[in-house]
Structure 1
Amino acid sequence: MISHARRRLLRTAPLLLASALGLPAKAEPQPVTLIVGESLDESGKVKPLRPWQRELFEYLEAELGVKFQVRLYPWARAERNARNGAGLVFGLPKNPERLRELRYSEAAVSNTLWIVTRSDATFPFASLADLKGKSVGAVRGYGYGAEFEQSRNKLFRVEEDIPSRATRLQRLFLKRVDAVLLYQPGWQNAAEVEAELRTFAAPLARELSLPQGLTLSVLPHPLQVGNQQFFAMSKGKDEGLIDRINAALARQQKPASLPKTRRAP
């Protein structure tokens, strides 16, 4: 076992060597708590960050000289912690109440909100009026825009569920809901989203012993286009971090590996 004195020597030796050589000592990255809403897999376990999220966070860590300590929570808890000043939050949609308490960054990435149905139960969709009388599956604690919220449980019925794609699609297959709302990166079109979902849902369809050929469809007209995602922080705890994030996003050269705020299909 390494003694306390030896451990302290190992920590300070690089600093002493840098000083002796006249080199500037490398500062330790500043720890920053980063709150992200969780998603669950088919077993109910929290899924890791998506690759594009990791790329974005690593880019900002390098630009800002910070080390994100990522905390994954259900959205309701994520919002509560952010409002209480527990850290920076990513992906929490804007609304008037949140804007009073949180300071938001410029848009970091853009998503599109699609409507998913069973392949044997599609319907024409051009506006919210086309959802009249239908049951729509949504994630508990998540917002889908002012117009949607004003029509919630009036024009259509909203069935809230946990943020598990497999669980939500299973309810759709079993006709517990008529449609499911699903955010996907803004650079994907309806055909690409549909192909991805059909591949994902194929084992689930077999497990449920569904009729041969029954799968999922993505309605060609999205519910929302250019739904932007932001960083946000309690106004009393910001201390300039949001300004630094905005500057880093403005400097971003947007290589192919990073998420891009593209024009939605």
Structure 2
Amino acid sequence: MSVIPKLLTVALLTCLSLAAHGEKLRIVTEPWAPYVYDDNGAMRGLDYETTVIVFHRLGVDVEWQFLPWKRCLAMLEQGHADGALDIFHSHDRDALLLYPSEPLSEVEFVLFYANERPYPAQTLDDLRGRTVGTSPGYLYGTEFTDSSLFTREPAPSHEANFGKLLLGRIDLLITDRRVGQHVIKQLGLEDKVSQAPLVVSRQQQFLAVRRGAGMDLLVQRFAAELKRFKQEPAYTVLSAKYGGLHAKNAAITAPERTVEQQESSAR
């Protein structure tokens, strides 16, 4: 038997083994709209719906659970979860997790500020002496994380960070561009919050699974099917639904009166 049929056979046996024992892949994630979120009891999002389609094509049943991100990581480390959706690649986790060669999406971390207190930062040096709202467990890049120019202040949710921003308790907040735009729209803050020009960092997001029997082959099949799906019109429609086609050009700009423009347990 050649190598490819052998790989397919082992991967198939892995899936059949899960089914025979009535087991499902236990995938954990944190709400991270518009990539994955709970919409009145229904799970939605670009990366969630993409992953559901790919696993369906592979014949793999999945059990989903929403948890705070640090709890998601703890579940993986303790063996209580099989994988995590929308996780960044970290070499510190290579001994624990397997990552497909194909990412689900790319995160672009940017800064947002209140229009009443404009801080349109173009470099990290522009943040000198400021307080920036962050989210626990997220990786924003070593330059941002290690900088002593400004203070980082965590909040329990993205909504809480925007609330602190409007109250003047923080000067800016950092989050993904699409996530920030989604929260701004949900909270009706389009006229109150603007995006700074600075792109702090970019990170690819993956569906990663714990190392185990057959998981390496499952990851290979997932990557191949994901890449195939991304080339289909259905993915183009799904991406457009969640702002994927114009995200980088959809920056929320400040009104004319304003100036022109993670720790080891990280996402």
Q: What's the TM-score, normalizing by structure 2?
A: 0.69
From 86, 91, 112, give the equivalent of 1:96: 91
Note if 1:166 corresponds to 2:150: no
Aligned to 1:13: none
Q: 1:77 to 1:199 in 2, by over 3 A?
A: closer
2:58 alignment partner AA: L
Q: Which runs of 5+ in 1 are unaligned?
A: 1-26, 206-212
Aligned to 1:140: 136
Note if 1:228 corresponds to 2:204: yes
SS for the counterpart of 2:222 is helix
SS for the counterpart of 1:230 is strand
Aligned to 1:249: 226
User: Is the 8 Å Cα contact of residues 119 and 171 (structure 2) preserved in structure 1?
Assistant: no
Q: Distance in 1 between matches of 2:25 and 2:74?
A: 17
Q: 1:82 to 1:257 in 2, by over 3 A?
A: farther
Aligned to 1:184: 177
Aligned to 2:238: 258
1:114 alignment partner AA: V
User: Is the 8 Å Cα contact of residues 84 and 234 (structure 1) preserved in structure 2?
Assistant: no
Q: Distance in 2 between matches of 1:156 and 1:46?
A: 38
Aligned to 2:31: 38
1:200 alignment partner AA: Q
Aligned to 1:4: none
CA RMSD, 1 decimal: 3.2
Give, in angstroms, the shift of residue 70 of structure 1: 0.5
Structure index of larger Rg: 1
Aligned to 2:66: 72
* Number of residue-to-residue matches in the alignment: 215
1:188-214 CA distance string (max 9 Å, x none): xx9xx3xx6554334xx7xxxxxxx97
1:82 alignment partner AA: L
Q: What's the TM-score, normalizing by structure 1?
A: 0.69
Q: Which runs of 5+ in 2 are unaligned?
A: 1-18, 34-38, 250-267
1:94 alignment partner AA: H
Aligned to 1:83: 77
Note if 1:128 corresponds to 2:124: yes
Percent of aligned positions that are identical: 23
1:52-83 CA distance string (max 9 Å, x none): 23421221122211122101111111011123
Q: Distance in 1 between matches of 2:155 and 2:42?
A: 19
Aligned to 1:201: 187
User: Is the 8 Å Cα contact of residues 137 and 159 (structure 1) preserved in structure 2?
Assistant: yes
Q: Distance in 1 between matches of 2:110 and 2:248?
A: 12
